[in-house]
Structure 1
Amino acid sequence: MATPTSKVSENGYAQPVVDVPALTRLLDGEHAAVRDKVRVSLVEHAGLLDEAEELSRDAYRDRVLETVVAMAGTGQTAYHFPAEYGGAGDFGATVAAFETTAFGDLSVLVKVGVQFGLWGGAVLNLGTQWHHDAYLADIAAGRLLGCFAMTESGHGSNVQAIGTTATYDAETREFVIQTPDDASRKDFIGNAARHGRMAAVFAQLIVDGDNKGVHCLVVPLRDEEGQPLPGVRIGDCGHKMGLNGVDNGRLWFDDVRVPREALLNRFADVSEDGAYSSEIESANRRFFTMLGTLVMGRVSVAGAGISASKVAMAIATRYADRRRQFATDDDQPEQLLLDYGLHQRRLFPLLARTYALHFAQDGLRRQFDDVFSGRATSEEIRRDLESKAAGIKALGTWHATRTIQECREACGGAGYLSANRFAALKADTDVFTTFEGDNHVLLQLVAKGLLTDYSSEFGDMSQFDLVKFVASMAVDQVVERTMAHRLIERLRDVLPGDDKWNQDAGLLDPAYHLDMLRFREEHMLAGAAKRLKRGVDSGMPAGEVFSRVQDHVIATANAHVERLVLESFVAVFATLPQGPNRVALGLLCDLFALSTIEADRGWFMEHNRLTTNRSKAISREINDLCRKLRPLAVDLVDAFGVPEEMLRAEELLSWE
């Protein structure tokens, strides 16, 4: 896109030209004041990062709770609540605050998410005025601690099959909550083991002997002294790989009775005499509509994973700009790690991907805000939000796992010291890839949307219905229903093996980058549709068809999300004024695009979109981009705005 021009330093690299404050303002966006407020709070509680390694488990949990309640007192944890309950009615601000909170202790982050996002969000989004008046103010202030009790030991991602029941007793006007077996116990529930007083419990609603499907009820767990209420059994999940400041627990309910008003009845209700009613006739659609209101969790976790990557990148990049190892000549000083081409190759593509994911996440946050604030009301936009949230959550959290590991290794033995933050980052983010939805399951959701174009049947479809739906269509129909189908029209006259369109494009042309990723997505989507249709046409059961094609479906979804991420980055770049930051982000955008193509070069070569010479040229260009980014790297990670106290890497960064 552009090459920086500036003074050359003694080591042969151009001097940094990034305007760091301006770039931070760009990254912080419209919620810069919210993010700064959170940064101040993080610094005030920075001591918790040290205490986490010294305190006992219960003491650490209580210290995390103390921090969360203090944060709630500043208003930074419940922006999405209505103003009359202590919030600001600003869903985008809540996500921005959560993303920034992820720079600090991640047990605090998850505790915030459980209390205000999951527990509070369930009451806010699934309840009605009565529930809001009864609970929201105390939830927002951190006075009423609660849980989000959906997951069960025997039923993780398949929420529709949970075993807990809520049976309506018309004589007493109560629901009876029952855990029928250990497979149906609520498992891994945050806030349950120690602090939660109530829970949003998801259960099969039984009315007059008829199962109405999964609904959510508010169920008390503990009395004012913290003791379990009659019929409520509570267990502790114990020590975990990470996030030990969060009191994850297990819940059983033995004929626990709650009043009729305990049903969160935004989408369905039960009258006093036991009549069930809902404006949504389809049980499946009612279920998916209910879950759709809880998408904030996925949006937030995606941002948290990206923020954790920023912390790791900041530590590793700054360390590599100080640490020296080996000399190129006998009479020269040892060389900085960041001057080595291999070190640049290890870190800079990850840095570029971190920026790319940031801009994709920022667009997702704005879309989420539009939907939940009521500015965007169409079903298509809501479905698109759910798909993007699933896809960016998957790629963002996988990126965090990969980035933190690579950054740890890039810091050598020093990175292995707990004092240098990587141990906590690795342990605490590892679960991000599976909570709020296992990433592979989420990518299946993305693929389902692509294959059906979010048709009216989308919400009702199981994977078996999906197979039959696609098999009932001509493959061309599937392709035509997708967002990128116009690219196919442009390439119809390109014969297999003819790389003319490839050779005519410059390697740093964003149109070329987008065409490559769009073509890959489109080709994979058509391939998945063909395989599904061929399997059904051959008489194979739908379940087996899907199982055999599952890897192709996941690859298609991954290709789709990577294309969305690149489009987000290119769109932001197009808005930037001329100047050093435009140059820097142009280099990063090019690097993200080319490293994405390089990572899947086998596929592109198999499908005649890349010649061996072109592939080698891309690798050379990536190396060149890394060299150009070398003098900008420290400024680019400083622009993330991670407070110094959050880096907690004195062993790495306190010496020259």
Structure 2
Amino acid sequence: MQALIDVVYANRFTELHADIRNTLRADIFDFREGLTDNQACQLSYQRVRFLRDRLNIPGDVARTPMRLFALLEWSALLDPTANALLSIHYGLCLGTLCIHGNNQPELDQYTRELESMSSFGVYLVTELGYGNNASALETEADYDPRSNEFILNTPRPRAAKFMPNATFLEGIPKLGIAMAKLKINGKDEGVFPFIVRLTDSAGPCRNIQITPLPHKPGHHLDNAITVFSQKRVPRANFVPGTHGTLNPNGEFNSSISRRQRFLQSVNALLLGRIGLTSGLVSCARASLVIALKYSIQRHSFAPGRNDVPLIQYRSQQRELFSQLAATYSMTSLMNNVKSRYAMMQNEPSEDLEEFISVAKAIASWSSSETIHICRERCGAQGMFAINRIADYVGAAQTVITAEGDNLVILSIAAGSLLQHRTPRPSTPEPGQLNDPRSMYDLLSYREESLRWEIRDKYGQALLDTRERLDAWNDNLNPALDMARTYGSRTALGSFLDDISTVTHPDANSALTLLATVYGLNEIAKDSGWYLAHGVLTADQVLSISRTLDELCVQILPYIPLLIEGFALPNSVLRTAIADDYLSYYTRYGGMTAQR
């Protein structure tokens, strides 16, 4: 139904998504059985080049982020490794050049290589010793004014770049954006991007050691450990953007702090963070399409009946419909994030950065849960790669860790959220469990109550002259709860805003039911807290499970409609079980039905 497609794709399906979906029907995206890790990796690079050529993707697609996000959402469905490559190549590597290249003509040769994919982009930030604390990176870039070059060096083992896809592959040269400390006459000026050639047609470039990492189940990216040994790069390969200048004599000037310089240097990570998360939410939508369609076809025993479709069981409904509600909510949340990012002027605000971080954590955790539950609800069929969901499990673990580990970025965002100055919350009246607006109000009350409670306790701990780390540690888990509640409340609010624009009565009713299920499930996770604070009664807490079952009964007739809203036909997904799975296996096994 178009009304639901408009919600899922923010009224831009034809403009941004339709041609990408059609391109994925090409034979190159057919499922391949029995590939080695190396063969699967090589195929992913081929698929990325195919997408570039067929869709005519411009090198500066990061300047039109909504198109890049659409590309990442669809590529994730058929090849999670290709999805990661697209994010790194266009979002991180070329994205850094777009954002910080500052029209430097010396960088044009590299941009042309990356645009044509005669070389692939790599992004080297994380080190063995430092991950999310990237401002503490130890890779050094010493400026030598005599040669007008930088000397990139890995001073100790813990400074080795960990996990970039830098492995030498024949026919796939690599160019990397390496984050390193700028050192001028021994003075550390902070972390900046440098572009460096990593591999060429003959192998790793001189003074660069690249060691492939071991097998990662479900993901075939050619990750490696990369070490620089007095690697010289031209001064023109320094990419400071507008937040620093370096003249040939080695005089560095900047009008902003080291911290600000660092945050601006790595703001391409925000683009990658949104893109990877949107891709995983897309995988959650696909998992639900597959699991729900299979549940409609697959029959099982039933008391007093010969058999019934699995979807008739309340246990199957509760599991899958709850995930359907969560995924529609996460879709609205990420559409909100993407829109705010695309509309920002110049550098992202602190509010936007914390919003992106919370959304990344909340949406990727939710999508991971959805994918796992869909795999289980498909039984043995969910274990086969042809049915896609098993590959999405590995993709989920990658996204939860990539572009900022969820727990770490959520804790940083929580510290920022605590600084928001809001009125002390007043206790709301117990709401109605079948009203999503009441659920939104309860989530808001919990968020604000936790914020005030933590601020009071943290402030008192500091006044008691305790160590700042100890004071924060004692309040860290409650702060994470507050940030999660903020994320859930924002997701539900985004979903309700989208529902308010839907005029088709069936679509509006179906989405409102889902919003109620999502809100009620979020309240149920902390029902004891709400009971203790007097905003839910004991009878209400006891009735949550029954209310969810009743909502499932109402949602069941709308399931075909809600699946249609994802615009994911099996002609794109190519699974064995999302259409007529019995016919598929009959053909697969060469069986002939007996009369």
What's the TM-score once normalised by structure 2's chain length? 0.93
Deviations 1:317-372 (A, max 9, x none): 1111111111231xx3301111111111111111001000101111111111101x
Aligned to 2:498: 572
Kindly indicate whether the alpha-carbon contact (under 8 Å) linking 1:174 and 1:259 is maintained by their aligned counterparts in 2. yes
Q: 1:75 to 1:417 in 2, by over 3 A?
A: closer
Letter aligned with residue 293 of structure 2: R
Distance 2:146 2:231 in 1: 16
Q: State the Cα deviation string for residues 189-236 of structure 1 (Å, max 9, x = none).
A: 02444334221011111001100111110111123x242221011111
Residue matched to 1:211: 188
Structure 2 residue identity aligned to 1:385? L
Q: 1:107 is matched with which residue: 74, 81, 89?
A: 81
Q: Deviations for 1:46-73, whole angstroms, at most 9, x for unmatched residues? A: 644x22x422222222211111011111
Q: 1:508 aligns with which of 411, 428, 434?
A: 434
Check the 8 A contact 2:168/2:199 in 1, yes or no: no
Equivalent position of 1:234 in the other structure? 210
Correspondent of 2:115 among 133, 140, 143: 140
Q: Which SS does the other structure have where 2:68 is aligned?
A: helix
Quote the Cα distance in structure 2 between the aligned partners of 1:348 and 1:193: 45
Q: C-alpha displacement at 1:615, in angstroms?
A: 1.5
Give yes or no for the alignment of 1:73 onto 2:53.
Answer: yes
Which stretch shows the higher mean deviation, 559-568 or 614-623? 614-623
Is 1:526 the counterpart of 2:501? The answer is no
Could you tell me which of 91, 96, 99 is aligned with 1:117?
Answer: 91
Deviations 1:65-112 (A, max 9, x none): 11101111134654xx54xxxx49422221122122222211111111
- 2:193 and 2:265 in contact (8 A); partners too: no
What is the one-letter code of the residue matched to 1:342? Answer: S
Match for 2:25 among 25, 34, 43?
43
SS in 1 for 2:132: coil
SS of 1:29 mapped into structure 2: coil
Question: How far apart are residue 300 of structure 1 and its match?
Answer: 0.8
In the alignment, what sits opposite 1:285? 260
**1:295 match: secondary structure:** helix
Shift of 1:242: 2.3
User: Which residue of the partner structure matches residue 539 of structure 1?
Assistant: 465
Deviation at 1:30, TM superposition (A): 4.1
CA distance in 2, matches of 1:596, 1:76: 43
Give percent identity, aligned residues only.
25
2:387 is equivalent to residue 420 of structure 1? yes
**Is 1:447 the counterpart of 2:414 in the alignment?**
yes
Task: Spell out the pairing of 1:475-490 with structure 2 (5 A cutoff).
Answer: 481-482=421-422, 485=423, 488=424
Distance in 2 between residues matched to 1:171 and 1:147, nearest whole Å: 29
Q: CA shift at 1:388, angstroms?
A: 1.4
RMSD of equivalent CA atoms: 2.0
Is the 1:114–1:190 Cα contact (8 Å) retained in structure 2? no
Q: 1:601 is matched by which residue type in structure 2?
A: S
The 1-side partners of 2:536 and 2:107 are apart by: 57
Which residue number corresponds to residue 288 of structure 2?
Answer: 313
Does structure 2 retain, via aligned residues, the 8 Å contact 1:103–1:642?
Answer: no
Match of 1:8 in 2: none
Residues of 2 paired with 1:638 and 1:365: CA distance? 23
Match of 1:126 in 2: 100
Q: 1:584 to 1:415 in 2, by over 3 A?
A: same
Taking the aligned partners of 1:583 and 1:163, their CA distance within structure 2 comes to: 55
Aligned residues of 2:94 and 2:114 also touching (Cα < 8 A): yes
Deviation of the 1:653 alpha carbon:
4.0
Contact in 2 for aligned 1:43/1:643 (Cα 8 Å): no
Aligned residue number for residue 14 of structure 1: none
> Does the alignment pair 1:271 with 2:271?
no
User: C-alpha displacement at 1:519, in angstroms?
Assistant: 0.3
Query: Equivalent residues in 2 for 1:151-166 (5 A)?
Result: 151-166=126-141
Q: Contact (CA 8 Å) 2:7, 2:498: kept in 1 or not?
A: no
Distance in 2 (alpha carbons) for counterparts of 1:45 and 1:177: 43
The answer for the alignment partner of 2:8 in structure 1 is 27
- Distance change in 2, residues 1:655/1:216 (3 Å): closer
Secondary structure (helix, strand or coil) at the match of 1:589 reads helix
- Provide the C-alpha distance between the structure 2 equivalents of 1:414 and 1:75, rounded to a whole number of angstroms: 33
The separation in 1 between residues aligned to 2:567 and 2:150, in whole angstroms, is 49
Q: Is 1:554 paired with 2:480?
A: yes
Task: Tell me the distance in 2 between the aligned counterparts of 1:110 and 1:276.
Answer: 35
Deviations 1:118-145, CA, capped at 9 Å, x for gaps = 1111211122211553333432332221
2:579 paired with 1:598:
no
2:35 corresponding residue in structure 1: 55
Which one-letter code corresponds to 2:353 in the other structure?
E
Instruction: Give the aligned partner of residue 11 of structure 1.
Output: none
Greater Cα offset, 396-405 or 133-142: 133-142
2:513 match = 587
2:229 aligned partner, one-letter code: D
Tell me the amino acid that sits aligned with residue 219 of structure 1. Answer: V
What runs of 5+ residues in structure 2 fail to find an aligned partner?
A: 583-595
| One-letter amino acid of the counterpart of residue 234, structure 2 | P
Counterpart Cα distance in 2 of 1:122 and 1:363: 23
2:320 paired residue number = 347
The reply to whether residue 401 of structure 1 matches residue 399 of structure 2 is no
Give distance in 2, aligned partners of 1:89 and 1:288: 19
Counterpart CA distance in 1 for 2:79 and 2:485 is 33
Which residue does 1:369 correspond to in 2?
342
For residues 577-656 of structure 1, what are the structure 2 equivalents within 5 Å?
Answer: 577-651=503-577, 653-655=579-581
| Kept after mapping to 2: 8 A contact 1:506/1:512 | yes
Q: How many correspondences in the alignment? A: 577
